[in-house]
Structure 1
Amino acid sequence: MRDLVVWLAQQLVQDKGAVKVDALERDRSTVLELTVAPDDLGRVIGRGGRTAKALRTVVDLAARREGRRAVLDILD
Structure 2
Amino acid sequence: MEKDLVEYIAKSLVDDPDGVEVNLIEGEKSTILELRVSQDDIGKVIGKHGRIAKAVRTILSASATKTGKRVVLEILD
User: The TM-score by the shorter chain falls in which range?
Assistant: over 0.9
**Percent identity of equivalent pairs:** 49
Distance in 1 between residues matched to 2:20 and 2:8, nearest whole Å: 9
Unaligned runs of 5+ in 2: none
Distance in 1 between residues matched to 2:55 and 2:43, nearest whole Å: 14
TM-score (norm 2): 0.94
Question: Which contiguous aligned blocks of 4+ residues in structure 1 show a shift greater than 3 angstroms?
Answer: none
TM-score (norm 1): 0.96
Distance in 1 between residues matched to 2:14 and 2:60, nearest whole Å: 18
Tell me the SS of whatever aligns to 1:60.
helix
Q: How does 1:1-76 map to 2 (within 5 A)?
A: 1-76=2-77
Letter in 2 for 1:74: I
Unaligned runs of 5+ in 1: none
